[in-house]
Amino acid sequence: MQHLTRDEIRQSLIECGLKATHQRIVVLEAVTELHGSHPTAEDIFQRLRPANPTISLGTVYKTLDTFTETGMLRRVVSEQGSKRYDSNTMTHSHIYCSKTKEIVDFEDEELEQLLLKFFSERKLENFEIKGFSVQLTGCKVEPDKKISITRVPK
Amino acid sequence: MQHLTRDEIRQSLIECGLKATHQRIVVLEAVTELHGSHPTAEDIFQRLRPANPTISLGTVYKTLDTFTETGMLRRVVSEQGSKRYDSNTMTHSHIYCSKTKEIVDFEDEELEQLLLKFFSERKLENFEIKGFSVQLTGCKVEPDKKISITRVPK
DNA sequence: CTTACTGCAAACAGTTTGCAGACGT
DNA sequence: ACGTCTGCAAACTGTTTGCAGTAAG
């Protein structure tokens, strides 16, 4: 999903039935480049402004909405309720740090399998599951350092 | 947590070091009565207004904030980013219906154990887990009927 | 050439803030 | 009586909308 050329981006826009406008190309490029940081519309807008001085915040909002509708991006709401965007549209979980307000992706095949198995053994009547995700809340010990996940052998 | 008398509510407010004002009593009463519906500040305000015509929306917001800080309530953000309140402060998961915007509680001892075990086998470096919760997204088949969870025998 | 998309500015929803007065302890 | 809490209104943040002009296919 990363390091797409502009032509590849143009291509995927067309595949989704969207016109490949300059604004859409640079917005999508920015979100994939910022992969892992879950930017807000404002973040994207600020990042694009220097190189695209005429782009408007409203367009960034509309564009991100459109991308979410077509499934190119996933919307994640922060603990504070602001909307953030994730170029990782695969099933994955999120770690929320209440100290730094960061949202860190947490992909784990085993966890996914565990939950898939669990939910296949329940019957949710009158509800069609589209997706699931685990939300881990807590806070960083050292706010400046990264969070890393290692496996402990049983 | 349900059907607390006003005196019991008064009591738990005092235990949290808060003054037992009329506004706090009725707000806490309303949230516990609306248990399961995850009301917004506005919902609470509208519910209280008839019987408490002088209560203000600002007070409801402040009161709910205070309750969240003391741990009497839990804040949940909806898929749209609005803040909702949950009188169930135990570990539990949420089912989000994108059709009706409902948030349904999903308590399951087995799921909790499964996740506890899973996370005890991982080491999250530089992160202190405060809690976790599974988010199920999807939509109701029959919007007017309830969602029910049954267990399928293996 | 046509229709979808953009920029702009205004509107909007939800939430927070500051302060004078009211109330619980 | 003291300090905390409330009501009110204004301010603020993040997001959405309507419309005239622009650009993509």
pLDDT 10s digits, A74-101: 999 999 999 999 999 999 999 999 999 9
pLDDT value for A153: 67
For residue B11, the SS3 value is helix
The pTM of this model reads: 0.92
Pairwise CB contact (< 8 Å): B81 & A83? yes
pLDDT value for B154: 57
Q: Could you tell me which of A126, A120, A129, A112 has the C-alpha nearest to residue B152? A: A120
pLDDT per residue as tens digits for the range B107-135: 999 999 999 999 999 989 999 999 999 99
Q: DSSP labels for chain A?
A: --S--HHHHHHHHHHTT----HHHHHHHHHHHHTTTS---HHHHHHHHTTT-TT--HHHHHHHHHHHHHHTSSEEEE-TTS-EEEES--SS-EEEEETTT--EEEE--HHHHHHHHHHHHTEEEETEEEEEEEEEEEEEESSTTSPPEEEEPP-
What confidence category does residue A154 fall into, taking pLDDT thresholds of 50, 70 and 90?
Answer: low
Angle at A72 between CA A71 and CA A75, to 5 degrees: 70
Pairwise CB contact (< 8 Å): B111 & A118? yes
Average pLDDT on A8-23 reads 97
Q: Could you tell me which of A98, A102, A108, A101 has the C-alpha nearest to residue A133? A: A108
Which residue is the nearest neighbor of C14, CA to C1'? B82
In angstroms, what separates the C-alpha of A103 from chain B's closest C-alpha? 12
Question: Which of B65, B96, B126 to mutate against chain A (most A CBs within 10 Å)?
Answer: B126
Q: Could you tell me which of B139, B52, B39 has the C-alpha nearest to residue B82? A: B39
Distance CA(A72)–CA(B39), nearest Å, equals 32
